[in-house]
Structure formats: C-alpha cells, structure tokens
Structure 1
C-alpha cells in the first residue's frame, strides 16, 4: 500500500483492521459511554474548569469594550475621555484575566492527569478480568501497542485536548454571544464564514477517524511483527529466516507509513480551510460593519468592539480545530483501550458453584479459528482423585483439551463441567479455586519473595508461606536468603534459577490449594537433574488431588490410572497402561517407539 501526499488511499477496510488485531476496537457508542462516565466521575472538577474559564474569557472582553467606548467618544467629539479610569479598569481586568488563565491551565492539567490515571487503571483492571483464553490468543504485539503507544497518544489528549477543547468551546460561545449582543448586524459575518468552515471540517472529519484507525492498526501490525521476530530470534537465525522477517517488517512499516502520509495530507487540506475562514470573517466584519456605519445602523464604537471580538474568535476556533484533530487520534486509541469492554467478562453466574469434584467434558468441539475445529466431539470423565494422562502425537490436540479442562478456553459446542457446574459460566477466580493449570511457563514478579507467594492467597501468614515453600523443597534455599521472605526477587533483585522459579510457582499452587490440577509437562524445560528434583516436589503437591497430565514423555503416563490417547482431535483409546499395550493400538505403537 503506497500513497503520495495529495493522493488519497483506498477507503478504510474495517475487516482488514479487525484482522490486524485480536482484541476488539470499541465502537463510537462504547467510547461515548466511557467518556460520559469519566466526566461524571470528575464533574465537579469539570464544572469548576468551565466556570474559571468563563471568568477568564469575560475579563478578556473588557479591553475591546473599553476601546470601543473610547473610539465612540472620540468620533462624537467628546473631550472628557477619562483615560485614567479606562486604563485602571483595563489593568484590573488584565490582572483578573491573568490569574484565571493560570487557574484554567492548572485545573485543566490536573483534570487531564486524573482522567488519564482513571483510564490506565480501568484498562488494567478490565484486562486482568478478561477470560484467560482471550488474553492468551491476543498475542504480545496488539496488547503491548495498546498499553504503550495508545496510552502515550492518549496522554497528550487527556492532559491537553479534553481541557483545551472545553475551554475553546466556552470561549467561542461567549465571544459569539458578546458579538451578537454588542453589534447584532455583525453576527451575519459569522454566518457568512461558518459554511466554509463547516464544509471543510465535515470533509476532513468524515475521513480522519477511519484513517487514524487504520494508522493505529498498522502500527499494531508493525509492533506484532517486530515482537514476534525478537521472541523467536533463535528460531529465525537457525532456519535462516532473517531476510523473510525483514521483508515482512518492511512491508508492515510501508503500510503504516502510507497511512501516516494520508493523515498528513488530510491535515494539509484542513488547515488552509481554517485560514480562509479567518480571512473571510475579518473581511465580512469590516465590509458589513463599514456599510452599516455609513447607513447609521450602528456606530463606530460598536464596529470597533465587534471587529476586536471577531479577531478574538480566531484563537478559540483554532484551538477547537487543533485539539479536535488531536482527539481523532485519541478517539482511535481510546476505542482500542475501551474495546476490552465489549468482550464478555468472566462475571459468570455468582450462584453457580460445583457441588463435587468430578471433571467432565461432554461432546466438546473447539477451534481457534471460525470454521476450523481442533477438537471434534471429545467426551472424557475424570472422577475425583483420578490421575489421567493425555498422550498422542504432536498437534493432536492434547494441550488444547487440557486448557479446556482447566477452564482457560470455553468450548464452541458441548460442555466442560465440574460436577454439573459449567466452567465457562463460572467467574475465572472461582474456577481457579477448583482447577489450576501448571505448565512450563513460570514467572517471578518484581518484588519480595513474600509478595510473589501472596499472589496465590493474600491472607496467608508467614508460617503458611514457609510451609508452602517446604512442601516443594524450596525451604532450604529460601531460608538461606539474607532477608528471607523479604528478599527482593525478579528483575533488579535476586536472580533465581529456572528450578527455583518453578518451585515458587508450585508454592503458590500449594497456597491456592485447588483440588484439580492440569499439568502440561511442568518440568520439561529444566535440565534432567533439576527436573527430577522438582518432580519429587511436584509429587508431594499432587497427593490427594485429581490430576490431568498432558504427557509429552510417556514415562509420565505409565503410572496414571487412566490414559487417553488423543489423535486428530479425538480420543481414540482409553484405558490403563497394561491394557492399552496389550490392545496393540495407537498407544502401544507410541510406547514401542518411545522405548526404541
């Protein structure tokens, strides 16, 4: 996609923008509702800003009125001009204006910062509350671009655009009102210039939101391509994919910069229209005013005051257009941030709670893309206390089935339930109290060791934290730390080994105490010695719990109560190890292959 300045790009394609991101973009109704909510939260500060701005604008009108009076007195031949009183009033009005302009700037900046803080907090809280499957499918590029680029774009709008736009609207309304009250015939000049401004603005604002939306989606695509390349750097190097990844990045950048040029071209049309409007307004005021004075319909003082007030209109109108243009960018970023509101949350039915511990998947079908299922009519029953192993070739659907059983994803059709309570209809926090997924991914958050453990249960005391560490064989190295539980870990703190990081994750699991665990080879990324040590720790955690183990290595499946063989998204065999080996089916072939 290329475009020279002055040549418009093809019309915005909503489907293309939607395909560029996983998380939705909030529609106009969602954005308006959120802005109205923000204003309600800060209505007192907003009303105060409007009142302070009104005083500042009214005090700025004193000068034109005084000058108009002086001109009228001079034209009438008056010798008693009372310059001292006029100058005194002007200086007093100027002092008031200076004070309230400062207040306007200060209160506007404070209001903007408060609204920006609310926006950041709302986005974070809402994102954390999203269904886990949504966040997992969103990927890093789109999510990071919203948290970073869109927040940065909104920062200027929240700090400046919203307060300044409010100031400009109040300023313009008061000036037009004053012009109409002082010299009603000159209000015709505004009516002559207004159509030019409206036509130009309508042309611009019909195109700008779509263009800015495509521009933002293009940047998200750039960020996604770069993030993916960095994350998979070793793979790119090993398979000599560098040239292909560079070409992809260059294409994404070219598409993004093409939309950047297009939005620049739109602005290059709007700004001359604004300048023409200003010239037309001034010319109309002087020509009409001169004609009205000659006919005796108004005096010279009214013309002087009206001309000065019309000149004062340039600044607030320019302010409105400038910051409204800024809001076009901000509106797109705001739509991307509040778009998460259009995703159904895991609010679930608060009254829905499992009465037992039997995990059941019934005729489950699921796909990551519409029209393409990964699982096809899978039915599996896991009684309380049972250890089930899911085995099968790579890509068969084992991990996908495990995530459905853990409540990460919701099936397209069918049901995954815990003793009759569907996991997809329960809040995520309630699901996690009963079922937890343990995989190769483990994360140590920046903070103290205590903070990392309290994530699982905020009311746990130190004795319970030490007991959880001891249960996973982490007590020895943890007690050897200089500050114990108060030791800073994570980035910038103590660097823990992968095995220690996994032990911290398992200690959280002990504190959370779910009765059912879904294991996706939690130790497969560790070296053999650390893996064996951690498997002993894991065995203690698993005692007395229902376990669904996704077995990429068959020694995990050997000791399971039940083995489910997953092939092509279906369970082809189900039974114990000895029975499946004797059956000489798919599992027996896998077992022979694994043993050589």
Structure 2
C-alpha cells in the first residue's frame, strides 16, 4: 500500500500523537482492499441483488391478490399466490442470510489483514514516534479502533449493502408499475439529502474528536495503572484520579455530541418517510381514479414505499456508524503510514532476547564471530528542543563488554537503542560491523534484553522457540541450564507448561532468565543489555549476573547498568553525563583518574554498606 498522507498532531510540548491518514489516503486504502478481495465482493454483490429481488416478489404477489379479490377471481388463484408468497419469503430470507455471511466473511479477511499490518507497523515503528505519542494512543488504535471496524464489518456493512440493493430494485419496481410512482417517491429525496449533508459536515469532526478522546482516556488509565507504585509512593493518587476523571468526562461529552448529531439525522429521515408515503398515496389515488393503474398496482406501490422505510433508514441512519468507521480507519491507516526504519522487514533488533530466528538465511552461523560497533559523531533528540545525546563517539571492539554508566537521564538507554536500531540518530552514524544499525545485516547480528521483559502466552518451549524455531528440547534445556534456570524441572509439565497470559505466572527473575535463555539461543553477535539484571543486592541479581556473563561469552556487549559492581566487571566503562561521553576506561583507570566516576563509586559503595 502506498504511504498515507498523515500529519501528527501536537498535544503538548515534546509530545505528538501518531499520524491520522487524510480522507484521500483512507479511500485509497479501502479501494485497495476491495480490489484485493474482488472475488468475494463480486459473489456477495450477486447474492445481495438476488435476495433483494426475491424480497420484491411477495409485495408484487400481494398486489396480484388484491386485484384477484377485486375481480372475483377463483379462490385457487389466491391459494397459488399465497403459496408462492411463502416460498418467496423463505427464499428472500435465505438469500439475505447467505449474502450477510459472504459480506462478513470477505471483509473479515480484509480486517484480519489490516490488523496484522497494523501490529506489524506498530512493532516496527520508530520508537520516537511511539514514545512521543504514548502507548495509550497506539493501544487505542490497535484495539479500540480495529474493534470499531470489526463491528462495522460484521454488523453494519452487510446491512448497508443489503439495504442499498433493496433500494435500487424497489425504485426500479415502482417505475415498472408506473413512472409517476417513482417520481412521487422522489419527493422525499431533498429532505434526505439535506439531512445527510448536514450530518456529513458535522459528524466527521465530532466522531474524530470522540475517538481521540477515547484514546486519551486509554492513555491516562494505562499510565496510572503502570505507575501505580510510584503514584502511591509520591502520594499523588488524587491528582491522577482527577486527571482520569477529567479525560473521562471529556470522552463522555464527545460521545454525547455524537449522539446529538445522530438524533438530528434520525428525525429528518422520519420526516422524509412521511413525505414519501403521502406522495405515493396521493399519486395512487389519482392514477386509480383515472384508470391508469389497478387498485392492486396502487397497493403494491404503497407497500413498496413502506418497504423502503427500513432499508433507507438503515442506509442513512448507519451513516453515523460508517463515519465512525471511517474515522477509525483513518487512525489505523495512520499507523501504517509511519515509516519503518531501514531493514525493519528483514527482522529488526529483537527486544528481550529475540534476535533473528535461527535456521534462516539471514542468521549468523553457530560459529559466530563477535562484531564491532562504531558510534560516530552521534546526536539524538526525541524532541528537537531537548537533545538527549550530543556528538557521541564510541567504538566497541569485537568481543568487548562495555558498560554504560551515568546518572538517570544521561542518555545510556538512548545510546543502547541507537545500537539496536530501534531509533535513528539525528546526526552521525551507528555501524555494526560496518553496516548501519537497523539495516537487515546489522539487525540480524544484534539482540537486546531489557529490564521489563515479556513472557509470551503459550508453553515455555514455544516462548523459547521464538528465538530459534528449529531448536529441539535438548537445546532448549541447555539454554535454560546456561542461565541457571534449574526450576524448569519443577514446573507441572516442564517445557510443556503454559506460561504468560492465561498460564503459569513467572516471577520477575525467572522471566529475566527466560529472556536470557532466548538470547542464548540466538546467533546474535552483538548484545545490548539494558538494566537486564537490575535487582540490586538480591540472590536473584547474583544469579542473573552470572547468567548474563555466560550468555555474553564470545559476543560483543553494550550493558546499561545502575549497579557499579556490574560495571567493574566489564572490559571497559563509558561514563555519560547530560548526553555526552565524559570518560572511558577500565574500572581501575576511572577510579584512579576520573573524579566523577570515583564519586559515583564511593556513593554507591557507601549505599551498599550503610
């Protein structure tokens, strides 16, 4: 699909929302979906038209029965008409059900494809885009907006398509009875057009604001839940509750505004129905009096117009649902428009130990050689007004373990993310074995483990095989043994034990061991550990530290640490302050010749012994 034209909206200094596709880009995407599923769309259209035609037959038969009664026809004629009417009703109902199934199935496939594309785009979007918008906006799009589209596909779209086919054939049927009936029913069109145009002008902005308010509410709630411990510690619970309450009321106001717009449309549609039925009844009275049509034909015309009420009401009243769906689709297509870093499709740097899957052509062989990392004149800023890194130069030799230390906010994690390729430098270059970080070759060589690891739903074996799909049980057990995860034998079903969502919950240290085991299974030549063993002073931390050292053997490593005992064991330490490299060397060299590092070490050591 071509890139959507989308513009991020500023929400606060240093923050942006994810882009929202413009109407033209949204329509282009919808057209591409129709073309990609044209076989299913064509089949659904044929069945819809057949069902709509079958639905006209009972009305026509009622008109014939009226004429038969008026002409004192034989009773058998009425019985045959009644039997045909029942058959037509059953056929119309069956065809309508098949058509609904075809429409839903066709577009559910399209929606599944959209959901996959959206998740793929979200996973490969530059971290600066996601971080600037907040996870709430992304979650609202991938879940809430896609759910709006799912409802539209399963409920609204089949009804709208069926209504459109019924209206088309019904107007044709009126013209077949007498062209003046068709002209009479057109008396309602000005009211309908007026109502829909007014609705169209007002609904788009209202429903977009409603979806944006829902996203903001989701973001605030997620933020409050994720930071619950910090909020309690700071005693700011009431402030956050007030913030959630404020955005919730704003979301309610947007929803009520949308309901008001919808009610105005409904009232105008009812007025149009009254005008249409009145005009056809008047026309029928005149035509029957003039002998131009029979009483049965006038009855058929009146029934056809009355029958139009439901499909016209469905078609026009569902405009608000279609507008909501359009707003949701624009937000989802906006995620697809976020440019992925170069080489993302080839398997970007894996978080939590997930590198390139082994057994594929892009992986590094088992007899891997450690790779070099070059950071040359790199600067970076999530917000142009607040740079995070300034002209950083750093070379990590093959097989070297380099620890990044510094105060919170010094830029350690950002530098680590630049090496993994999840963010792109504002200036300068980051090279892995001479290839740009984030490119296909560099991405295949880099893996990362962070402090906040994720245990994927499924068996423990499935979780581990995300890193190496072809690994047998013996290899999985060897990886677990390497990281000291001897607890696997105590699990109810060993490697077959379900873990993650809906399964056995794993303690944080065990989840870290699983992440390190995934890393051990990869062929990554460069490893980034970002606070991956951060439980200071605990037995678990010592176990994780030892596991990390074993996994890093033979690999180049960049380790972000807060515990300086970890830094002391590294081959080299790089001290950052306010986004700049202020010193580099071994622990002993820095302790003897770098006063800022010596102060950090002294403060950390006193904190441990106090």
TM-score, with normalisation over the residues of structure 1? 0.88
Give the CA deviation at 1:101.
1.6
CA RMSD of aligned residues (A): 3.1
> Which range moved further: 269-278 or 343-352?
343-352
How far the C-alpha of 1:31 sits from its partner, in A, is 3.3
Residue 437 (structure 1) aligned with residue 431 (structure 2): no
TM-aligned CA deviation for residue 170 of structure 1? 0.6
Paired residues of 1:60 and 1:93 also in contact (CA < 8 A): no
Q: 1:31 to 1:351 in 2, by over 3 A?
A: closer
Match of 1:362 among 361, 376, 393: 376
Against the structure 1 CA distance between its residues 342 and 537, is the aligned structure 2 distance closer, same or farther, given a 3 Å change threshold?
Answer: same
Worse-superposed segment, 103-112 or 162-171: 103-112
Please tell me whether the aligned partners of residues 361 and 416 of structure 1 are also in contact (alpha carbons under 8 angstroms): yes
- For the structure 1 residues 526 and 169, does the alpha-carbon distance in structure 2 shift closer, same or farther, using more than 3 Å as the test? farther
State the partner residue of 1:558. Answer: 568
Deviation for aligned residue 1:365: 2.0
Cα shift readout 1:439-460 (whole Å, capped 9, x = no counterpart): 2122222322211110111011
Deviation string, structure 1 residues 109-151 (Cα, Å, up to 9, x no partner): 4542553355245424542442362555554422333344334
Q: Which residue of 1 aligns with 2:104?
A: 112
Q: Distance in 1 between matches of 2:56 and 2:197?
A: 30
Query: Which segments of 5 or more consecutive residues in structure 1 lack a partner in the other structure?
Result: 1-12
Cα 1:131–1:512 shift into 2, 3 Å: farther
Matched with 2:462 is: 451
**Counterpart position of 1:334:** 329
- Tell me which of 556, 559, 562 is aligned to 1:546: 556
Structure 1 residue corresponding to 2:214, chosen from 204, 213, 219? 219
Q: Which of 493, 499, 510 pairs up with 2:520?
A: 510
**Matches of 1:436 and 1:560, distance apart in 2:** 19
More divergent stretch after superposition (172-181 vs 107-116): 107-116
Provide Cα deviations, 1:156-185, integer angstroms capped at 9, x if missing partner.
211111111110111101111111222112
Q: Determine the structure 2 residue equivalent to 1:7.
A: none
The residue number in structure 2 matching 1:103 is 95
Shift in Å, 1:434: 1.0
Q: List per-residue Cα deviations over 1:450-481 (Å, max 9, x = no partner).
A: 1111011101112211221122122x332344
Contact 2:446 2:527 in 1 (8 A): yes
Q: Distance in 1 between matches of 2:455 and 2:286?
A: 79
Cα 1:584–1:17 shift into 2, 3 Å: closer
CA distance in 2, matches of 1:392, 1:589: 11
> Distance between the aligned counterparts of 1:55 and 1:165, measured in 2?
16
**What per-residue deviation string (whole Å, max 9, x for no partner) do you get for residues 277-336 of structure 1?**
111111222234444555566565543333332222112101111323222222222333
- Cα distance 1:284–1:578, how it changes in 2: closer, same or farther (>3 A)? same
1:436, 1:516 within 8 Å by CA — same for their partners in 2? yes
Specify the alignment match of 2:352 in structure 1: none
Deviates more, 1:548-557 or 1:392-401: 548-557
Give the equivalent residue in structure 1 for 2:80.
88
- In the superposition, the TM-score normalised over structure 2's length comes to 0.86
> C-alpha offsets along residues 177-204 of structure 1, whole Å, 9 cap, x if unaligned?
1112221122222332211110111000
Select which of 237, 241, 262 maps to 1:246: 241
Contact 2:435 2:442 survives alignment (8 Å): no
1:460 is matched with: 471
Contact 2:8 2:20 in 1 (8 A): no
Cα separation, partners in 2 of 1:483 and 1:56, compared to 1, 3 Å: closer
Residues of 2 paired with 1:44 and 1:298: CA distance?
Answer: 42
Q: Is the 8 A contact 2:16 2:132 kept in 1?
A: no
Distance change in 2, residues 1:311/1:574 (3 Å): same
Aligned to 2:578: 568
3-state DSSP of counterpart to 2:124:
coil
SS at match of 1:142: helix
Are 1:589 and 2:603 an aligned pair? no
Relative distance call for 1:46 and 1:121 in structure 2 (3 A) is closer
Three-state SS of the structure 1 residue aligned to 2:225 is: helix
**C-alpha distance in structure 1 between counterparts of 2:50 and 2:11, whole Å:** 45
**Which residue is 1:131 aligned to?**
125
1:417 match: 431
Quote the Cα distance in structure 2 between the aligned partners of 1:349 and 1:124.
Answer: 15
Look up the SS of the partner of 2:375 in the other structure: strand
5+ long unaligned stretches in structure 2: 1-6, 348-361
The answer to whether the Cα contact below 8 Å between 1:56 and 1:96 also exists between their aligned partners in 2 is no
Residue deviations 1:320-357, cap 9 Å, x none?
11323222222222333333211223462889999982
Shift of 1:258: 1.1
Q: Is the 8 A contact 1:21 1:217 kept in 2?
A: no
Pairwise CA distance, 1:529:
1.4
Please say if residues 468 and 510 of structure 1, whose CA atoms lie closer than 8 Å, have aligned partners that are also in contact. yes
C-alpha distance in structure 2 between counterparts of 1:439 and 1:54, whole Å:
57
CA contact (8 A) 1:123 1:338 kept: no
Structure 1 residue 527, shift from structure 2 partner = 5.1
Aligned length: 577
Q: Distance in 2 between matches of 1:300 and 1:557?
A: 96
Residue in 1 that maps onto 2:394: 380
